[in-house]
């Protein structure tokens, strides 16, 4: 698994240090309110678990499973919610957690869906945000790290459901991406679990 990684962007200690800073900021911003965290599975699992343990506030936690059908390494515009009902967030202060903001399709769809329940406020927190033009008008309020537009894996992020358990975030070798992506018959039959 390690040999598939071209270079490490953020190792475990760097991630944990940054999570400490993010948690401090979020704790200060919500000190007088009860937070409702909505984590988007599966990619945000590690991030959610390490971040929330650093936030000493009363909070509620819910998870949403979202699937996006895709070709190659791009998310498609079709964002499908696996739950029949979304959490009731009426009058709540909602913080959406996701692993990475890429095209923006996923977070824009989740935000729109939750807004229908009339929360008091909604903010978005991501571990990673790619510096690029987005397909949807959405930005994150809290960002762990801004990165170049490269395909990364580890610390929850996957490529074809693998590499999530790496304790760091790294760039996947280009040859590997190209080899896998050229086999469209495999890729197109995959539903990407975000």
Tell me if residue 98 is catalytic.
no
Q: Is residue 129 within the footprint of ligand IMP (CB under 6 A)?
A: no
The Cβ-side half-sphere exposure at 8, using a 13 Å CA radius, reads 13
Per the listing, tokens 């967030």 go with: 89
Distance CA 36, CA 102 (A): 24
In angstroms, what is the minimal distance from the CB of 9 to ligand IMP? 10
Residue numbers 24-63 binding ligand IMP by CB under 6 A:
43
Whether the Cβ atoms of residue 4 and residue 177 lie closer than 8 Å to each other: no
Span interacting with ligand IMP, options 20-28, 50-58, 83-91, 94-102, rule CB under 6 A: 94-102
| Closer Cβ to ligand IMP, 40 or 89, answer by number | 40
Residues that bind Mg ion (CB under 5 A): 43, 158, 194
Residues that bind ligand IMP (CB under 6 A): 43, 75, 98-107, 151-153, 157-158, 194
């Amino acid at each position: 698994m390690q040999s598939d990684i071209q270079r490490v962007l953020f190792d475990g200690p760097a991630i944990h240090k940054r999570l400490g800073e993010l948690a401090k900021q979020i704790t200060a911003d919500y000190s007088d309110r009860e937070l409702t965290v909505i984590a988007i599975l599966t990619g945000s699992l590690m991030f959610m678990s390490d971040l929330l343990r650093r936030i000493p506030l009363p909070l509620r936690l819910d998870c949403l499973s979202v699937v996006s059908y895709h070709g190659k390494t791009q998310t498609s515009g079709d964002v499908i919610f696996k739950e029949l009902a979304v959490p009731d967030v009426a009058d709540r202060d909602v913080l959406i957690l996701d692993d990475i903001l890429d095209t923006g399709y996923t977070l824009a769809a989740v935000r729109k869906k939750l807004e229908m329940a009339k929360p008091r406020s909604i903010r978005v927190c991501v571990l990673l945000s790619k510096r690029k033009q987005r397909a949807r008008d959405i930005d994150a309020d809290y960002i762990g790290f801004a990165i170049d537009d490269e395909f990364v894996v580890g610390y929850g992020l996957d490529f074809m459901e693998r590499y999530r358990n790496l304790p760091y975030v790294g760039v996947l070798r280009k040859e590997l991406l190209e080899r896998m992506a050229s086999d469209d018959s495999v890729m197109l039959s995959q539903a990407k679990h975000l």
